[in-house]
Amino acid sequence: MACQSNLADGSEVGRLCEEVRDELGPVSVLVNNAGPFSMEPYVDLEREEWDRIWNVNVKAAYLCVKHLAPGMKELGWGRVVNVSAGSAYLRNHSIYTLAKEALITLTEEMAFELGPEINVNAVAPGQIAESADDIAEYDPTFVERSIEWTPLGRLATRREVAVIVAELCGPTYDIVTGVTIPIDGGWRLPRF
């Protein structure tokens, strides 16, 4: 089943969740994976762009959980995985960095609020190999520099991210909640 919604509009998020519940019943697994990107410097960032990036990356995740967590609680089991980004560890990706770091904090706080029935975790993928061309529009040297800096010497793939997200939704990680798993080949590790 495919549903469409403008996640920048909070009322649309509620309608989407209601549509899914009406069609499928209570939701037990939620992956918050919407996240438009922006590197616009703060001094040039228009308020509308701030709202769009923030609302889709952070507010929509909060609203989806708000609408769907009660059903998970009733089921006695649920999983929420928030998709942050390696940009959460940078300080030059403007509102996107702020939103993705906020998603990590939201994950930790929701883990306290929603346990023990619901596990809430996040992943923070670094640059995705299949999306290398997208970031090159902003910075043509980013991918090459990222690969050179990464201890494993390559970028993460969409499949690798999907496998880890799927594992977080299954019984293997029953004891894990409130964590963010970087999927970046060690890229975020500080060096001197």
CATH number at residue 30: 3.40.50.720
Asked if the structure places residue 161 within a domain, the reply is yes
pLDDT digits (tens, 9 = 90+) for 146-158: 999 999 999 999 9
Written as six digits, the tokens of 25 are 């019943």
DSSP H or E run through 125? strand 118-125
Number of domains in the chain: 1
Q: Give burial (CB, 10 Å; 0-12/13-18/19+) of 75.
A: middle
Nearest to 144 by CA among 159, 136, 189, 152: 136
Asked if the structure places residue 1 within a domain, the reply is no
Helix pair angle (94-114, 60-75), 10° resolution: 20
Asked if the structure places residue 78 within a domain, the reply is yes
Q: How far is CA 192 from the centre of its chain?
A: 29
Domain extent for 158: 10-183
- Whose structure tokens read 């922006």? 38
CA distance 192 to 124: 23
User: Is 62 noted as a catalytic residue in this protein?
Assistant: no
Task: Give the pLDDT confidence score for residue 5 in this predicted structure.
Answer: 94
Work out the pLDDT band at 191, boundaries 50, 70, 90: confident
pLDDT digits (tens, 9 = 90+) for 41-56: 999 999 999 999 999 9
Give me the catalytic one of 89, 100, 138, 173.
Answer: 100
User: Is 66 noted as a catalytic residue in this protein?
Assistant: no
Asked if the structure places residue 74 within a domain, the reply is yes
Asked if the structure places residue 191 within a domain, the reply is no
Asked if the structure places residue 28 within a domain, the reply is yes
Asked if the structure places residue 48 within a domain, the reply is yes
- Contact of 87 with 104, CB cutoff 8 Å: no
Asked if the structure places residue 72 within a domain, the reply is yes
Strand 118-125 to 180-183 pairing: parallel
Mean local confidence (pLDDT), 119-139 = 94
State pTM to two decimals. 0.96
